[in-house]
């Protein structure tokens, strides 16, 4: 546990989260700006952190594998590193066309 100092775990960064279709409806917001822990490494880490925030996120991500993600408007995967993404979008599988 020495590697993770209290300072590092309390560091945060600001991201814009956007939600679409039934993900938006379950979260209850079209978008929000949040300070997330800087040590969340991947999309999955962020999803688990969001689910701990409240029932609305629990409902939206109940089936984690069903929700798709885009980092700065590029499709990404659950294991993708968040990197420095500033806009993170969650949405159901696409049904356009």
Partner 1 sequence: MIPVIRIQREDFDLSAEIAALSAGRADIGAVVSFIGLCRDEQGRLSALELEHYPGMAEAEIGRVAAEAAARWPLMGLVAVHRYGPIRPGEQIVLVLAASAHRRAAFEAADFMMDYLKTRAPFWKREHRSDGTLGGWVEAKTDDDDAAKRWEPAP
Count of residues in contact with partner 1, rule CB under 8 A:
16
* Residue 53 to residues 3, 34, 73, 76, 90, Cα–Cα distance (Å): 26, 12, 24, 23, 16
Report the residue number, 25 or 37, with the smaller CB distance to partner 1: 25
Binding mask 60-79 for partner 1 (x = CB under 8 A): ----------x--xxx----
Q: Which of residues 15-34 bind partner 1 (CB under 8 A)?
A: 18, 20-22
7-12, Cβ contacts within 8 angstroms, sequence gap of 24 or more: 8/38, 8/39, 9/37, 9/39, 11/37, 11/38, 11/39, 12/36, 12/37, 12/38
User: In the complex with partner 1, which residue's Cβ is closer, 14 or 73?
Assistant: 73
> CB of 22: closest distance to partner 1 in angstroms?
5
* 49 contributes a contact to partner 1 by CB under 8 A: no
Phi, psi of 60 (to 5 degrees): -65, -40
Per CB under 8 A, residues contacting partner 1 are 18, 20-22, 70, 73-75, 89, 91-97
């Amino acid at each position: 546990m020495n590697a993770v100092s209290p300072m590092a775990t309390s560091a945060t960064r600001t991201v814009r989260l956007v939600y679409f279709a039934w993900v938006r409806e379950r979260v209850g917001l079209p978008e929000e700006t949040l300070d997330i822990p800087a040590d969340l490494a991947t999309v999955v880490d962020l999803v688990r952190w969001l689910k701990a925030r409240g029932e609305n996120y629990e409902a939206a991500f109940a089936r984690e594998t069903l929700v798709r993600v885009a980092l700065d408007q590029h499709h990404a995967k659950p294991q993708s590193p968040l990197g420095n993404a500033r806009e993170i979008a969650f949405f159901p599988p696409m049904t356009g066309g």
